[in-house]
Amino acid sequence: MSNVGHRFSALAEAVGGEWLACHGDPLIAHLHIDSRKPFAAEDNLFIALKGERHDGHRYLADLHARGMRAFLVSEAVKTSALPESNVLRVPDTLDALQRIAAWHRGHYHGPVVGITGSNGKTVVKEWLFHLLRDSEHIARSPGSWNSQVGVPLSVWALQAEHTLGLFEAGISRPGEMNRLRAVIHPTIGVFTNLGPAHGEGFKDDHAKALEKALLFEHADAVVHCADHAEVVAALRALGIDQRALLLGWSRERNGWLHVVREEVLPFGTRIRVLNDAVEFAFDIPFTDQASAENALHCVTLLLHLGRSPQWIAERMPHLPAVSMRLETVEGIHGMTLLNDAYSNDSASLAIALDHLNALAAGRPKAVVISDIIGGAGDDTVRHARVEQLIRHAKVSAVFTIGPELKEQAFTSAVRVEHFTSAEELLARLDPASLEDHAVLVKGARAFALERIVDRWQRQVHGTVMQIDLEAMRHNLNHYRSLLAPGTRVMAMVKAFGYGTGALELARLFMHEQVHYLGVAYADEGIELRQNGIDLPILVMNPEPVPMDVLHRFRLEAEVYDERSLNEAVRFARLHHDAPPIHIKLDTGMRRLGFTEEELPRLMSLLKEAGPLRIASILSHLSAAEDPQHDAFTRGQIALFTRMSEALCAVLGYRPMLHIANSAGVTRWKEAHFDMVRLGIGLQGIGVDAPETGHLKHASALRTVIAQIKSAADGTTIGYGRHGVVRGERMIATVPMGYADGLSRRLGNGAGRFWIGGHSAPIVGNVCMDMCMVDVTGIPCAVGDVALLFDAAHPIGELAKAMGTIPYEVLTSIPQRVKRVYLRS
């Protein structure tokens, strides 16, 4: 994130520390913590954060080679490797980052709103921005940046010309909020609610409420729901009610804002409230209780800021649905589309460009972007900032929509074209000219850029599988936290990435710097290579693929018998740059691999293998997840150790050893060896319920209601007339059938969809392309979403209903079902 900047010497004075190298006093406008992200050479400071699984100090030399010249570190570094650089050493770089942001916050004297709570923080912040942006120049947290790192990076963007700051703060353990309070230092607080989220680190709800309420210790006013007893108790226990104006809204009593009535209407909800003896109503385009609560928080704050009831009533009906994530969809002509077509401002653009860089994985990048509409401040400055961000992101093609950005030159881009509307772009721009590009589509809602995404995306089947890449990243980091330093990770992307899309997962894992990818067959690896994936790839399953094909695409073969070993040896003798191989041992799976009885022959062959390179020795655990078979698993690990040690003695060197799958990582530390293979765990499916609680469910399968009909008693439903209606029922047809992966085993009440949070059992047999569900008593309409599984209704429950395992459910979803990738 960036601002107009401070001299490095001023930041050093704010945080203390020791100069390891000093060459001038550069202006610091941009703070960086991720070495993978692009940056311009000027005005940057890299802060080398350290964590359990990462250390920014490892990348200093690479950053210097790319032009970085200012570093904040906590370790002694060889400054000779960083010539002409400014290097400041502090005891703790995270603490220094927070101190820098707090010091910077101290230079701002306008109102700052700090938002915390278990849920709704991002929605409330985005709605306040939407409501106030035409009258205020607002700095706000991008996306859901509310962590110990995200908050200081967000506050760093606060500048003197801003008239309001909106920042959210999230915590998960005691002691964290004091640090964030010093950074945000809110003058106004919003406490959204208190729920089960992030409760693991606290002994009870009262302790969690107290920790969150610490954000408001020096606030002048606090917005909250007066009906939430724990929230009120926490504010009183800290004495905040004695120092600040408590702006409580209530449905149950006479609060500062009293809710008189709530009425669900066809277009949304009408809420009537009373404040300071003035009663008025406003409408919101949502019907759920969470949206009503979020809206009441916003209205309470708007009244405190002096907005009139009429002003509020005019704007509330236009509240947008807040998408917490960017959507990635597969486009025509090999494009990958990053859809952020509903908002446009410099803060969210910076986040979207970061995601575009990760998505591109070395491919050319293009941006379709509209003018920024509304907002206080100088339009020229805002649009110049857009050009600066696009230049830093090294975007090669820029397509603007609207009259304002037409004035920007975008000189860093190879290709720049300007259009007046989305329709003109679609009429004039040939999408084939963007073949194999990663394309960000970002614009203000008024420009309707979603039409570009609709036209350029490859598939239009109404059934969609959503894959949460941030959940995947979370799960990867969970397993990494269980490993000893230096233990490598292979991410399994076989079988179309367990049904969730091998290519997009491979791009994510490459960005996250895993060490290997695992595929089942050579074709899968070839497709990854053809799409720019350059991580080492292990091909694990047998098929008659010539070694020269593997060689051409730099794929590494699993060798599991004498025939495959002899072929690898023959090829290595003819080609000095032949790819290394991986030796598979059978320690009890009885599937593929050399057995213990075959070990002497294998050792003899390896002695004569000449130039053949062995990258790893591996095996498979048969039942690592099941305590009932722990003795067998323990025997497998012991056998693998014996056999691999014997092979290492023959080879004269030690290849990597790996046997642990996701369950093995969790339950068998002694099986970690040099590398582990992660598969189903990355999808958020743990070895047991406690571990699954630490993971995030990564996928959802959804469709929409196509038609609703009434059915009289005795009516038969579907092929074979197996569904028989009892009583008057309402039956909905949804366009998902067994050709979409919906097993016929789920017919006749065995399976169900979830519509509006209600269970809708499947009636009759599942058809090829659709099925029928009972929606009697469920408020729904044509076009409403019908979920088969998601985080709230996990895939494990569906697998149980089918009498199978989650692997089969995921891998049976065909590629005709569109995959949409979500990024926070």
> Would you name the residues annotated as active-site residues?
494, 719
Q: Which residues contact 617 (CB under 8 A, 6 or more apart)?
A: 582, 583, 585, 643, 644, 647, 648, 655, 656, 657, 658
Report how far residue 467's alpha carbon sits from residue 77's, in angstroms, rounded to the nearest whole number.
40
Tokens of 385: 């900032």
168-189 residues labelled b (16+ CB within 10 A) or e (exposed): bbbbeeeebbebbbbbbbbbbb
Q: Tell me how far CA of residue 682 lies from CA of 273, 622, 686, 688, 698, in angstroms.
A: 46, 19, 9, 14, 8
Q: Tell me how far CA of residue 416 lies from CA of 67, 353, 429, in angstroms.
A: 26, 17, 12
Report how far residue 71's alpha carbon sits from residue 61's, in angstroms, rounded to the nearest whole number.
11
Report how far residue 224's alpha carbon sits from residue 249's, in angstroms, rounded to the nearest whole number.
7
H-run or E-run covering 385: helix 379-392
With H, G, I as helix, E, B as strand and everything else as coil, classify residue 108: coil
H-run or E-run covering 494: helix 494-498
Report how far residue 1's alpha carbon sits from residue 582's, in angstroms, rounded to the nearest whole number.
44
- Give the gyration radius of the chain's Cα atoms: 29
- Range 721-727 contact pairs with CB under 8 angstroms and sequence separation of 24 or more: 721/764, 722/747, 722/748, 722/764, 722/765, 723/747, 723/748, 723/763, 723/764, 723/765, 723/772, 725/763
Q: Which residues contact 447 (CB under 8 A, 6 or more apart)?
A: 370, 371, 401, 402, 421, 422
What would the DSSP string read from start to end of 651-703? Answer: HTS--EEE---HHHHHH-GGG-TTEEEESGGGGT--SSHHHHHHS---EEEEE
Report how far residue 655's alpha carbon sits from residue 580's, in angstroms, rounded to the nearest whole number.
10
Q: What does the H/E/C string look like for 646-664? A: HHHHHHCCCCEEECCCHHH
Whole-angstrom distance between the N-terminal and C-terminal Cα of the chain? 17
Among residues 291, 127, 148, the alpha carbon closest in space to that of 140 is found at: 127
Is the CB of residue 408 less than 8 Å from the CB of residue 387? yes
One-letter identity of residue 53: R
With H, G, I as helix, E, B as strand and everything else as coil, classify residue 491: strand
With tokens 């992307």, the residue in question is: 493
Report how far residue 721's alpha carbon sits from residue 733's, in angstroms, rounded to the nearest whole number.
15
Report how far residue 95's alpha carbon sits from residue 77's, in angstroms, rounded to the nearest whole number.
19
Q: Tell me how far CA of residue 562 lies from CA of 551, 555, 606, in angstroms.
A: 20, 20, 11
Report how far residue 563's alpha carbon sits from residue 543's, in angstroms, rounded to the nearest whole number.
12
Q: How many CA atoms lie within 13 A of 755 on its CB side?
A: 29
Question: Which DSSP category does 345 fall into?
Answer: -
One-letter identity of residue 481: S
Report how far residue 560's alpha carbon sits from residue 565's, in angstroms, rounded to the nearest whole number.
7
Q: Tell me how far CA of residue 588 lies from CA of 465, 596, 643, 663, in angstroms.
A: 36, 10, 13, 17
Report how far residue 322's alpha carbon sits from residue 130's, in angstroms, rounded to the nearest whole number.
10
Is the CB of residue 566 less than 8 Å from the CB of residue 545? no
With H, G, I as helix, E, B as strand and everything else as coil, classify residue 70: strand
